[in-house]
Amino acid sequence: MSSAFETWTRKSAQALPDLPLMDLLFCPQTLHRANFDPNKIQTSKLLSIKKGGCAEDCAYCSQSARNGSKLSASKLIEVERVLAEASKAKAGGATRFCMGAAWREPKDRDMDALVAMVEGVRGMGMETCMTLGMLDDNQVFRLRDAGLDNYNHYIDASERYYSEVITTRTLADRINTLNRVKDAGIKVCSGGILGMGEKDHDRIDMLLSLANLNPAPDSVPINMLMPNQSTRLTSCVC
């Protein structure tokens, strides 16, 4: 296997899905067991802290104001409510609490509340995670100084296929935020979505974009599209 800091090529990346199935299962299991307790999982809780009205046009997302969704936009919820939900999550066994907002990026007026959320959840002894869209340097530093552990920011698709899914931003916009986050010392959680009509080589290219970040993301979640009638992607192309 290549090391985490070795540049991946299309040839080396393609070699992985070309492996026989049982070898493909064995390879990640070997890496996992070498680095983690194989019988232990982390329990996380996700809370939507602001719903609907997002200015982005992501074809898969019912939170977008451009997709004809009937989901009405809400304001950022109160810090006290977030902390109450985090307390419930901890009591239920969660050790990581993630907070997600439906918008292109936070406004400066939102930052005091977001910082208070991070500080409050950290004060409970829980690991913190946020997904807030694109961030500038000042916003990243404020979240880091508040104690944010992880930032979730999907790249969604390959560069070639990106405009078929999203036109209000580019892959480079996402990479720029990821670079800011990791340079500030916050752990990166970034992945993509399958089943949006992309080709196999698009999936490889998406993974190459993630693998060649330096350092590579700490977590790489891969989702399968969940079709929604209130979006432009009403069926999964698997």
What per-residue confidence (pLDDT) applies to 229?
Answer: 82
Could you give phi then psi for residue 146, rounded to 5 degrees? Answer: -75, -15
pLDDT for the residue numbered 234: 83
| Angle, vertex CA 165, rays to CA 161 and CA 166, nearest 5 | 105
Q: Which residue has the higher pLDDT, 43 or 6?
A: 43
More confident residue, 194 or 234: 194
List of residues 6+ apart from 142 with CB closer than 8 A: 111, 114, 115
Q: In CATH, which superfamily holds the domain spanning 43-224?
A: Aldolase class I (3.20.20.70)
Question: Given a cut of 50, is residue 2 above it in pLDDT?
Answer: no
Give pLDDT tens digits for 155-164.
999 999 999 9
Which residue ranges make up each domain of the chain?
A: 43-224
CB 101 within 8 A of CB 50: yes
Residue 87 has pLDDT above 60, yes or no: yes
Quick one: pLDDT at residue 185? Answer: 96
What distance, in Å, lies between the first and last C-alpha atoms of the chain?
28
Please tell me the pTM assigned to this model.
0.91
Q: What is the mean pLDDT of the chain?
A: 93
Structural contact between residues 104 and 74, judged by C-beta atoms closer than 8 angstroms: no
φ, ψ of residue 150 in degrees (nearest 5): -135, 145
- State the pLDDT at residue 3: 47
Structure confidence at residue 1 (pLDDT): 41
CB within 8 Å of 174: residues ≥ 6 apart: 134, 153, 154, 155, 156, 190
Res. 5: pLDDT tops 70: no
Identify the helix (H) or strand (E) that includes residue 189. strand 187-189
The answer, yes or no, to whether residue 6 has pLDDT greater than 80, is no
Per residue in 21-69, pLDDT tens?
Answer: 999 999 989 999 999 999 999 999 999 999 999 999 999 998 988 877 6
Position 235 scores a pLDDT of 79
Q: What is the pLDDT of residues 124-155, one digit of tens each?
A: 999 999 999 999 999 999 999 999 999 999 99
Share of the chain above pLDDT 70, in %: 97
* The pLDDT value given to residue 4: 46
Percent of the chain with pLDDT strictly greater than 90: 81
Report residue 222: phi and psi, to 5°: -120, 120
